[in-house]
Amino acid sequence: MRADKGTRLLLAVLLAAAFAMITMDARGGTRSPLRPLRAGGEAAFGPVARTVAGATEPVASFVHGFGHSDADREQIAKLKAENAALREQNETSADARARAAELDKLLHVASVGGYRTVPARVLAFAPRQQGAWSATIDAGTVDGVRPGMTVLDGDGLVGRTVTVGAGTATVLLAADPRCTVGVRTAGAGGPGGGGAVGLATGGGAGELSVQFYDPQADIPIGTPVLTFGSGGGSPFVPGVPLGTVTSVRPTPGALTRTATVKPYVDYGGVQTVGVVLTPPRTDPRDALVPPK
């Protein structure tokens, strides 16, 4: 307890002395008796302060002045141009990789199905007025393309050629309501290797409608549907995947059975396609059905 009282007393004395010295120095001005002590402090710590100020001043001047000279502006413009070029190169590389992957899938389908195809790129989609779905591709008569040929991609049936020029052709997409395709369900035991046969009609990007000829046919949800094949392979070759059954409507007393099919192909975003120049020697049956 005595030690605490002594400490508090000493602290009070030091604070009083400090206030007295500050007051004396302020009132004394240039004649202050504490002036020599203050000068000594300045002599001791002044060089340190000037050194720190000298070190930070160039940095501050650089930051403040960067970008204002012609050389700085040229450097900034150069860096921006290089950054834009790198961004474009990266986007181009990504697009090239995507195209290569699409072409690989297309070549796989053509090889397994036994189709001889000519690859093509979709140049443009026609305005989808009144439910019309068609596209222009960069292959024509010079590539052996003729009207009434099957067009597919790595996922399945795209459509058929309708008009052909020297270097381009118009494809009526399977999603178009004017497009009808003979189809069958996957599985052994029926014509062409399928269990049920019908006629598919385009219904836009999201679905197709299929009229199966057997009203009693057992068509489970998820059943794959493929092209049945036209005589001579025109306009449709056999075995091309179309989509999977998503619903079957009951049709009591009717002569057909109606099913809704979700297509494998994204008709609004297809880019790389193949035009089948000659049909396969043998029906590939279910070889191209995508794995579940």
What is the token pair recorded at 55?
Answer: 């070190």
Cα separation, 61 vs 267, whole angstroms: 60
Burial of 243 per CB tally in 10 Å (0-12, 13-18, 19+): buried
Q: What is the predicted pLDDT for the residue at 75?
A: 75
Q: What is the predicted pLDDT for the residue at 274?
A: 97
Torsion of CA 283, 287, 290, 292, to 10 degrees: 130
Residues 6+ apart with CB under 8 A from 192: 184, 228, 229, 238, 283, 285
Stretches where the chain sits below pLDDT 50 are 34, 37, 39-42, 44-46, 48-49, 52-53, 55-56, 59-60, 62-63, 189-193
The upper half-sphere exposure of residue 195, i.e. CA atoms within 13 Å in the direction of its Cβ, equals 12
Cα separation, 258 vs 118, whole angstroms: 35
Percent of the chain topping pLDDT 70? 73
Q: What is the predicted pLDDT for the residue at 69?
A: 73
Cα separation, 226 vs 264, whole angstroms: 11
Q: What is the predicted pLDDT for the residue at 18?
A: 55
Burial of 19 per CB tally in 10 Å (0-12, 13-18, 19+): exposed
Dihedral sign for Cα atoms in the order 256, 262, 268, 270: negative
Torsion of CA 121, 124, 128, 132, to 10 degrees: -50
What is the token pair recorded at 92?
Answer: 């181009």
